[in-house]
Copies of this chain bind each other. A is one copy, B any other.
Amino acid sequence: MNQPLTHFDAQGQAHMVDVGSKDITHRVAVASGHIRMQPATLALITSGTAKKGDVLGIARIAAIQGAKRTADLVPLCHPLPITRVAVEFHVDEAGSTVQVVATVETVGRTGVEMEALTAVQVGLLTIYDMCKAADRGMVMGEIRVLEKHGGKSGDWSVTR
């Protein structure tokens, strides 16, 4: 029987998959997610960025550092030489959310979706942490891979 979950061998034992014979190619992944909060909380962030307390600047740094910790956090991830991380925030005042979009690149043997997702998660956690004194009910969601390029499976993007 075929094992569609590649992180398990034929006996169902977890392993770190062999990527030694995969090609070294340029690989890119983009992931995003958002955090929904009270409008008053969002106002603290948006005014803060301009003058007092740069929540998003700090969350960006945490997200970039988070990408570098991926293989430490996700048990079966391969360590990867990340060559670029960029993190953007989009404030949606109508929906009262901040969206995080992380782009990670490598020139390596395996993809960087997990690094991009980890950057998003750590960025969101940091926003939560910095605003939680004002708003404990914030909710994080819509965390997903948006697109990926490079490697044998080629280009993929979410159907929107």
Whether B118 pairs with A125 at a CB distance below 8 angstroms is yes
Q: Within 8 Å CB of A58, what residues of B?
A: 14, 57, 61, 75-76
Docked pose: A72 CA to B79 CA in angstroms = 13
How large, as a class, is the contact surface on chain A? 35 or more
Whether A81 pairs with B84 at a CB distance below 8 angstroms is no
Identical copies of this chain, number: 6
Q: A105-B18, A156-B136 are in contact. Are A81 and B78 (CB under 8 A)?
A: yes
Q: Mark A41-74, 1 if CB is under 8 A from B, else 0.
A: 0001000100111110110111011111101111
Docked pose: A4 CA to B40 CA in angstroms = 11
Residue of B nearest to A134 (CB): B4
Residue in A52, A78, A137 whose Cβ sees the most chain B Cβ within 10 Å? A52
Docked pose: A2 CA to B16 CA in angstroms = 35
Residue of B nearest to A73 (CB): B122
Q: Within 8 Å CB of A55, what residues of B?
A: 5
* In-complex Cβ contact of A140 among B128, B132, B133, B143 (8 A): B143
Q: Within 8 Å CB of A66, what residues of B?
A: 73
Q: Within 8 Å CB of A98, what residues of B?
A: none
Residue of B nearest to A77 (CB): B129
* In-complex Cβ contact of A53 among B7, B65, B67, B121 (8 A): B7
Whether B60 pairs with A13 at a CB distance below 8 angstroms is yes
* In-complex Cβ contact of A48 among B5, B68, B79, B130 (8 A): B5
